[in-house]
Structure formats: C-alpha cells, structure tokens
C-alpha cells in the first residue's frame, strides 16, 4: 500500500488526471483513423459539390449544342476552359452533367437505405427480440431472399414496370434489406440477455417500448456501418442498371447512364467513360472508407 502510494505520488499532478470520457476516446480515435478522415473528406466534398450543383455548374446539364459535340477536356489537345471536362456526343457540358449526376447517386444511396434499412431493422429486431418461431420465420425469409439472383430480378422488374428514378429506388430498397436484418438480428440477440434489458422488463416495460428505448439506440452503430455499405452497394447497382439501359432514363445525368452513352465513342474519346467511372469509384470508395472507419471507431473489437 505504502509503496503503491509512493509511486502514485511520484507522478506530478496526479490528482488532475481524469479518465477521458467515452466521447473523447472516440473522437481521438476518429481523428487518428486515416481511412475515416480521407473517406469523410472526399465524401464531404462530393456532398457539397452535389448540393451546390445549380450554382457552380458552368452550363445547363441538358442543353445540347451540336456545334460543340465531343469537345475534349481541357488537358487534351484542343480542349478549352469553356468546357473543362469536355462535352458529350450531343454537346452537353460534361462537368455540369457530372455535378448533377452526383445528386442522383447520392439520392439513390440515401433513399434506398431509408427503405431497406426500415425493412431490415424491423425484421432483424423482431427476430432477435422475440426469438423462437418469429426468428425461424424471419430466418427463412432471409434465406429465400439470399437465394434470389437479385441483380437479375431487379433488372427484370424495373424493365417490366418501366425504368425511372422512383422505380429504381423502390426496387433496390426492397432488395437490399437482407444485410440489415442479419446484422441487427444477431446484435439484438446479444443485447436481449443484458442486465439492463432484464431491469427494464422488471420495471414493467412493454415490448414496443423496450425495443424503441432500449434496443434501437444500442444497435445504432451497427446500423450506421451497414447503412454506408448498402448505400455504396445501391449506388453501384443503380449505375449498373442505368449502364445496361434498364434504370434511370435519359436525359437524366446518371453516371451509369453517362458511361452507357459514352461507350460507343470509347475508342476515340476514352474520357467519356473514364471520367464518370472515376467519379463513381471515388464516391463508393469514400462511403466504404467511412463505413469501415465508423466500425473501427465505435466497435474496434469487430475490426477483423
């Protein structure tokens, strides 16, 4: 005891050392996390550019100009500052289309996750909380959904109904709930046996109240991680659908659609497909980095 006290006293200013709060630990972890910082910055820039598109876009993204068609970007020979990223096959300014395209991609990611997250979390919490037959049934639903070739069915349904932005969002939303359900289900199962749940039950909480006030706040970080992954997934799928011509319809400046329209000219004007492709890659990569980062910061034990 004496020795311990002696050692403790030897540290100057011992009395002032206070335990950092969980919030502080998390903040310092986040600031040291390279992936999260880079991903967050890139995502933030894309978000701002997309929101400011009507102000900063140099031209209207829909105005065609046949005399200006297939202008190369500024770094190519013959490029001019008038069209920094060049123009497409009907003379629309490529930079403006790219900026407005960011709006579409971000909207797809956000709206899809809203739908799929709602379905997946409801099913996952129900399965994890009630267990037994409910769990068995929801597990069966998950197995069935996993066995459906998703891309194929999404293509078929969008084509049959007719491609448009709301249709694509709805179809993707009803398709991508499965990972939410799986993860939230196992998270809820772990929480269900915690002491604070027993305490809440002893205090007479109803199931609904328990789910809303005790379980949902505790599965929030898992939700955020899956939400980022699925948003990125949705953005890639929309691009693929639009690329195949069975998604968002022209003249909307969806990045996938821009690649589709540019592919006939790709041997002569490779920038027509490389520019939207790189934009898509950066957006998806930054969202994934943010998701991985959030997981590392909030639950480092799940890292591997």
Partner 1 sequence: MLIYTLKRALLGLLVALTVSILTFGLLHLSSDPAVTLAGEDATEEDIQQIRVNYGFDKPLPVQYWVWLTKALQGDLGTSFYFGVPVSQLLAERLPVTLTLGICSLFFAIMFAVPLGVLAAMRPNTWLDRVCLTLAVSAQAMPSFWFGLMLIVLFCLWFPLLPVSGSDTWQHFVMPVIVVGTYAMPAIMRLTRTGMLDVLATDYIRTARAKGLRPRTVLLKHALRNAVIPVIAVIGVQAGYMLGGSVIVETIFALNGVGLLAYESIIYFDLACMEAVVLLLCLVFITTTFAADILNAWLDPRIRIK
Using CB under 8 A as the criterion, which residues of the chain lie in contact with partner 1 when the complex forms?
Answer: 35, 140, 143-144, 146-153, 155-157, 159-161, 232, 236, 239-240, 243-246, 256, 259, 263, 266-267, 270, 273-274, 277, 280-281, 284-285, 288-289, 292, 304
- Using DSSP's 3-state secondary structure scheme, residue 75 falls into coil
Select 198 or 263, whichever has its Cβ closest to partner 1.
263
Select 211 or 275, whichever has its Cβ closest to partner 1.
275
Nearest of 96, 103, 95 to residue 51 by alpha carbon: 103
Beta-bridge partners for 23? none
- Using DSSP's 3-state secondary structure scheme, residue 264 falls into helix
Question: Least distance to partner 1 from the beta carbon of 204, Å?
Answer: 35
Question: Least distance to partner 1 from the beta carbon of 274, Å?
Answer: 7
Distance of CA 15 to the CA centre of its chain: 45
Question: Least distance to partner 1 from the beta carbon of 276, Å?
Answer: 8
Nearest of 94, 104, 91 to residue 58 by alpha carbon: 94
Question: Least distance to partner 1 from the beta carbon of 100, Å?
Answer: 19
- Using DSSP's 3-state secondary structure scheme, residue 76 falls into coil
Total residues found in the chain within this entry? 304
Nearest of 248, 247, 258 to residue 93 by alpha carbon: 258
Select 50 or 287, whichever has its Cβ closest to partner 1.
287
- Cα separation, 120 vs 219, in Å, equals 12
CA distances from 136 to 69, 81, 133 (A): 59, 62, 5
- Cα separation, 38 vs 214, in Å, equals 33
- Using DSSP's 3-state secondary structure scheme, residue 58 falls into coil
Select 127 or 215, whichever has its Cβ closest to partner 1.
127
Other residues' Cβ atoms within 10 Å of the Cβ of residue 256:
27
Question: Least distance to partner 1 from the beta carbon of 257, Å?
Answer: 12
Select 51 or 240, whichever has its Cβ closest to partner 1.
240
Tokens in use for 135? 């769990």
Select 205 or 240, whichever has its Cβ closest to partner 1.
240
Question: Least distance to partner 1 from the beta carbon of 195, Å?
Answer: 27
């Amino acid at each position: 005891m004496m020795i311990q006290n002696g050692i403790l006293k030897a540290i100057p200013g011992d009395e002032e050392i206070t335990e950092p709060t969980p919030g502080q630990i998390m903040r310092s972890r986040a600031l040291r996390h390279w992936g999260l910082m880079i991903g967050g910055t890139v995502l933030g820039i894309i978000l701002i550019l997309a929101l400011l598109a009507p102000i900063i876009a140099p031209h209207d993204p829909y105005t065609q100009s046949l005399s200006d068609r297939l202008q190369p970007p500024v770094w190519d020979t013959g490029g001019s500052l008038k069209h920094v990223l060049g123009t497409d096959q009907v003379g629309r300014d490529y930079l403006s289309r790219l900026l407005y395209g960011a709006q579409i991609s971000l909207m797809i990611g956000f709206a899809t996750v809203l739908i799929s997250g709602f379905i997946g979390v409801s099913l996952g919490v129900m399965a994890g909380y009630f267990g037994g037959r409910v769990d068995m049934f929801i597990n069966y639903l998950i197995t069935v959904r996993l066995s459906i070739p998703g891309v194929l069915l999404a293509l078929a349904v969008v084509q049959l109904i007719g491609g448009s932005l709301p249709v694509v969002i709805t179809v993707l939303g009803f398709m991508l709930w499965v990972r939410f359900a799986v993860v939230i289900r196992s998270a809820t199962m772990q929480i269900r046996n915690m002491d604070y749940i027993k305490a809440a039950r002893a205090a007479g909480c109803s199931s609904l109240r328990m789910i809303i006030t005790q379980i949902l706040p505790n599965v929030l970080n898992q939700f955020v991680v899956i939400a980022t992954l699925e948003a990125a997934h949705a953005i890639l799928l929309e691009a693929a659908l639009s690329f195949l011509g069975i998604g968002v319809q022209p003249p909307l400046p969806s990045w996938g659609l821009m690649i589709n329209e540019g592919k006939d000219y790709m041997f002569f004007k490779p920038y027509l497909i490389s520019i939207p492709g790189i934009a898509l890659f950066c957006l998806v990569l930054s969202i994934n980095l943010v998701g991985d980062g959030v997981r590392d910061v909030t639950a480092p034990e799940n890292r591997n």
